[in-house]
């Protein structure tokens, strides 16, 4: 049986009636009907009080392993520790003297047992609520490789990672974030930089209360500051991806209630890698990776580049291409910049609408938006076919980016590129590109440069556009950048 260290705070419990009053008051009085206070007596007549929250606990476990043994017990003259040792048939038990802490534990799903005349309560691990089963990854699906994804249950998520990394030195450091949110910081002892771990702990400590802590909010609260909207922490729903990063010396934060692991630190190259790369043979993985980078470049640069050419550098287009552009825009009434921005906005609308509605309808929206609206816009001379193709190609390229937050950031870069190209053609695009590159180079994720190992350049770990053999340092593993 596991007993935690006793809390030496001032004791408050001398009678179960007083404890019941404090609990009732702490839970907001009679209005809060979720608090269950079960008063009962032991076989020798000692008053006992069990407190728990309805729906947060495993009732069968309470009945079978706490109430039943205690009702038939002889508790008089026994301390809390003696009672726990003799009668409570649950492995995880701790003792608490502070009423505030006891209240927090009860709110988190534990059961608190108060003894008449005792100076502390017994906290019993009885958490048990409805949870989603481990299911297939929805956002990071792969053809080859494991299918399972994280759930909202912290313990399940830790187990999923532990099943991948069967090392005794895999640490799941339990933390309590603000608002009593349990979390686990997972890393391999000896592989991960202790300085990084200290930095993560310090940032987690600074999270203010009053915020609902999920992966999205925690990510924003602890990430490094940057002008760019790119993520500085990787959110992944795949245990294999998190495990791969952990094996490479990174740390993953699992938060109770969030089906994602937050991996820190990350680089731009690790955000561009997909789990699929590693599960395919090197030539196929290399082709996929190359296409992905190409897609990202097309997504960010193509609309701006086309606009720059059409507005300022027509000489760079061949006569045939130029005449096609002119012919397709013959009846379009708005300027090409407005047309481009309009189509980009419509593309974002379709994407957003497709994501917010259930699966089959979402697909239908995509088809309607892509085919019918596009065709209708060209027929109505609201858009030219050439610009429509450019926007569509750029959108397809955007979908090649494996990370959702990076995808969204690329969409903003695309619009910034269009604005820069409108202002100064290729000169504007170059200036904006250099500004973004400088910001990217300056950005850090928990002390690791965002463009590492390209910049700062390290020959032994240069980022590989083409995937190498598994096990090679510098690019083969998914966690490697």
- Read off the tokens for 346: 């419509």
Taking the complex as a whole, the smallest distance from the CB of residue 476 to another protein amounts, in Å, to 14
Report the residue number, 205 or 458, with the smaller CB distance to another protein: 458
Name which position in 428, 463, 464, 475 contacts another protein (CB under 8 A).
428
The verdict on 451 binding another protein (CB under 8 A) reads: yes
Contact 98, 9 (CB under 8 A): yes
Q: What is the rounded distance in angstroms from the CA atom of residue 187 to the CA atom of residue 169? A: 8
- Does 367 participate in binding another protein (rule CB under 8 A)? no
Which one, 199 or 406, has the nearer CB to another protein?
Answer: 199
Query: Applying CB under 8 A, does 448 fall inside the site for another protein?
Result: yes
Establish if 419 lies at the interface with another protein (CB under 8 A): no
Minimum separation from the CB atom of position 361 to another protein (A): 43
Residue 426 in the binding site for another protein (CB under 8 A): yes
- Tell me: does residue 413 bind another protein (CB under 8 A): no
Q: Of 91-99, 252-260, 325-333, 428-436, which segment contacts another protein by CB under 8 A? A: 428-436
| Nearest by Cα to 190 from 234, 238, 251, 235 | 251
Q: Max CA-CA distance within the chain? A: 101
Q: Which of residues 318-347 bind another protein (CB under 8 A)?
A: 318
Please identify, among the stretches 57-65, 117-125, 315-323, 375-383, the one whose residues bind another protein according to the rule CB under 8 A: 315-323
> 309 vs 409, which CB is nearer to another protein?
309
User: How does 230-257 read in b/e, with b if 16+ C-beta sit within 10 Å?
Assistant: bbbbbbbbbbbbbbbbbbbbbbbbbbbe
Q: Which two tokens stand for residue 48?
A: 């006992």
Angle at the Cα of 218 from the Cα atoms of 217 and 219, rounded to 5 degrees = 90
How far apart, in Å, are the Cα atoms of 131 and each of 56, 108, 151, 347, 471? 11, 15, 8, 36, 37
Task: Give min distance, CB of 229 to another protein, in A.
Answer: 18
Return the exposure string of 115-134: e unless at least 16 CB atoms fall within 10 Å of the residue's CB, then b: bbebebbbbbbbbeeeeeeb
| C-alpha atoms less than 13 angstroms from C-alpha of 311 in its C-beta half-sphere | 24
- Could you tell me the CA-to-CA distances from 234 to 86, 251, 312, 334 in Å, in that order? 47, 11, 39, 41
Using the contact rule CB under 8 A, the part of the chain among 35-43, 98-106, 382-390, 419-427 near another protein is 419-427
**DSSP β-ladder status, 121-124 and 111-115:** antiparallel
For residues 271 and 233, give the distance between their C-alpha atoms in angstroms, rounded to a whole number.
9
Binding mask 232-261 for another protein (x = CB under 8 A): ----------------xxxx----------
The residue among 134 and 165 lying less far from another protein, judged by its C-beta, is 165
Task: Pick one of 145, 216, 370, 424: the residue that binds another protein (CB under 8 A).
Answer: 424
Residue 457 found at the interface with another protein (CB under 8 A): yes
Instruction: Find the shortest distance in angstroms from Cβ 480 to another protein.
Output: 8
Any contact of residue 465 with another protein (CB under 8 A)? no
Identified binder of another protein from the candidate list 389, 437, 465, 470, rule CB under 8 A: 437
Q: Examine residue 463 and tell whether it contacts another protein (CB under 8 A).
A: no
Q: Please, which residue, 139 or 455, has the CB nearer to another protein?
A: 455
Encoded one letter per residue, x for contact with another protein by CB under 8 A and - for no contact, window 162-201 reads: ----------------------------xxxx-xx-----
CB of 249 to another protein, least distance (A): 3
The distance of closest approach from Cβ of residue 260 to another protein in the complex, given in angstroms and rounded to an integer, is 20
Work out whether strand 251-255 and strand 261-264 pair parallel, antiparallel, or are unpaired. antiparallel
Question: Are the C-beta atoms of 440 and 432 separated by less than 8 Å?
Answer: no
Structure tokens, 428: 């504007």
- CA–CA separation, 183 vs 39, rounded Å? 33
User: DSSP of 316-380, one letter per residue?
Assistant: GS-HHHHHHHHHHTTT--S-HHHHHHHHHHHHHHHHHHHHHS-HHHHHHHHHIIIIIIHHHHHHT
Residues contacting another protein: total by CB under 8 A: 51
Our CB check for another protein shows the closer of 372 and 434 to be: 434
Residue 316 engages another protein in binding (rule: CB under 8 A): yes
What is the binding site for another protein (CB under 8 A)? 190-193, 195-196, 248-251, 265, 312-313, 315-318, 423-431, 433-435, 437-438, 441-442, 446-449, 451-461, 473, 479-480
């Amino acid at each position: 049986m596991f007993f935690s260290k006793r809390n030496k705070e001032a004791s408050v419990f001398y009678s179960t009636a007083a404890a019941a009053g404090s609990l009732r008051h702490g839970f907001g009085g009679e209005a809060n009907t979720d608090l269950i206070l079960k008063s009962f007596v032991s076989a020798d007549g000692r008053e006992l009080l069990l407190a728990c929250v309805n729906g947060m606990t495993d009732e069968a476990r309470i009945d079978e392993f706490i109430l039943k043994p205690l009702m038939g017990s002889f508790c008089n003259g026994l301390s809390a520790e003696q009672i726990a040792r003799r009668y409570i048939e649950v492995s995880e038990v701790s003792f608490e003297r502070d009423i505030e802490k006891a209240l927090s534990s009860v709110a988190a799903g534990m059961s608190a047992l108060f003894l008449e005349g005792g100076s502390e309560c017994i906290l019993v691990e009885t958490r048990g609520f409805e949870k989603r089963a481990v299911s297939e990854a929805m956002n990071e699906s792969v053809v080859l490789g494991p299918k399972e994804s994280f759930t909202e249950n912290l313990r399940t998520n830790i187990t999923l990672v532990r099943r991948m990394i069967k090392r005794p030195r895999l640490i799941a450091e339990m933390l309590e974030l603000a608002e009593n949110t349990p979390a686990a910081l997972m890393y391999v002892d000896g592989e991960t930089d202790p300085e990084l771990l200290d930095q993560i702990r310090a940032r987690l400590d600074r999270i203010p209360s009053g915020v609902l802590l999920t992966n999205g909010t925690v990510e924003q609260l602890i990430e490094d500051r940057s002008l760019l909207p790119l993520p500085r922490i990787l959110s992944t729903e795949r245990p294999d991806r998190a495990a791969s990063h952990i094996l490479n010396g990174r740390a993953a934060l699992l938060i109770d209630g969030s089906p994602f692991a937050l991996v820190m630190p990350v680089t731009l190259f690790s955000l561009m890698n997909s789990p699929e790369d590693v599960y395919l043979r090197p030539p196929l993985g290399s082709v996929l990776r190359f296409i992905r980078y190409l897609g990202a470049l097309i997504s960010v640069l193509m609309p701006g580049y086309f606009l720059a050419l059409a507005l300022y550098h027509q000489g760079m287009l061949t006569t045939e291409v130029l005449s096609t552009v002119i012919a397709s825009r013959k009846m379009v009434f708005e300027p090409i910049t407005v047309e481009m921005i309009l189509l980009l906005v419509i593309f974002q609308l379709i994407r957003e609408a497709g994501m917010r509605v259930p699966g089959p309808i979402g697909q239908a929206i995509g088809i309607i938006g892509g085919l019918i609206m596009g065709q209708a816009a060209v027929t109505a001379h609201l858009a030219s076919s050439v610009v429509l193709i450019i926007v569509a190609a750029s959108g397809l390229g955007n979908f090649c980016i494996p990370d959702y937050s990076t995808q969204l950031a690329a969409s903003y870069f695309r619009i910034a590129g269009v604005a820069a190209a409108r202002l100064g053609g290729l000169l504007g695009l170059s200036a904006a590109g250099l500004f973004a590159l400088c910001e990217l180079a300056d950005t850090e994720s928990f002390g690791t440069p965002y463009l590492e190992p390209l910049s700062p350049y390290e020959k032994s770990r240069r980022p590989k556009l083409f995937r190498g053999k598994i096990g090679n340092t510098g690019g083969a593993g998914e966690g490697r950048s």
